[in-house]
Amino acid sequence: MGSDRKRDFANETLAARRRRAASVLEILRRTYPDARCELNWSTPLELAVAAILSAQCTDKRVNEVTPPLFKKYRTAADWAAVPLPVLETEIRSTGFFRNKAKNIHALTAILAEEYGGRLPDDFDTLTQLPGIGRKTANLLVATVFGKPGLVVDTHFIRLTGRLGFSDETDPVKIEFAMREIVPEKDWTAWSHAMVFHGRRCCFARKPECARCPISAHCRFYATPPKKKLQS
């Protein structure tokens, strides 16, 4: 463990970061073989709606709210037709419900009117739609359309910093930094691994470093205790 803690993260080359990232992903794949998107959905539209609802809300809460909604609203036209006050009431428990309802309304109206009720599978097109930023677009292309995607959520951001891969705080800058470190074919697997590990071990307030399977590759673990408390 001592030699692991002495790793020189500050002077690590890009090639070394790529090798370390590969080791991290290999370990996390073994640790979480079922890592996946934990939002429940059965159609691309359902995942888009669930992703909008998940902003500043847990997947668990979203999964509790969406089942009756998905039974009631099956098409983009269904979602677009529901009165906004009704939708606000139905999603209130997910937080920020007014803005979320507005985005769902706007998104589904455009899908119904311009895309035949279907989600486009192109990343750039998705990011132009209401309520769909880069994170959600990456989630959709990776989860629904089987294309590589780096889904930079709060867990991804936290772990990227703790592992010492990027000190950026802006999600877009982090995404592009990790594009240089993680091979494109592994982007989706990396994203799911970060979320699973962030939810099950590398917690925001009290990361459980003593049982962490990737502590040997982690800058946060290598720092002295006093600095850890400040992270």
197 vs 107: CA distance, rounded Å: 32
- The active-site residue, picked from 4, 34, 60, 135, is 135
3-state secondary structure of 104: helix
225 vs 222: CA distance, rounded Å: 9
Token pair recorded at residue 68: 């009756």
3-state secondary structure of 176: helix
**Alpha-carbon dihedral angle through residues 195, 201, 202, 203, given to the nearest 10 degrees:** 90
Token pair recorded at residue 7: 């790793």
Distance of CA 77 to the CA centre of its chain: 27
Active site residue 100: no
Distance of CA 166 to the CA centre of its chain: 17
- The active-site residue, picked from 153, 185, 186, 227, is 153
Active site residue 153: yes
10 Å Cβ neighbour count for 37?
21
User: Could you list the active site residues?
Assistant: 135, 153
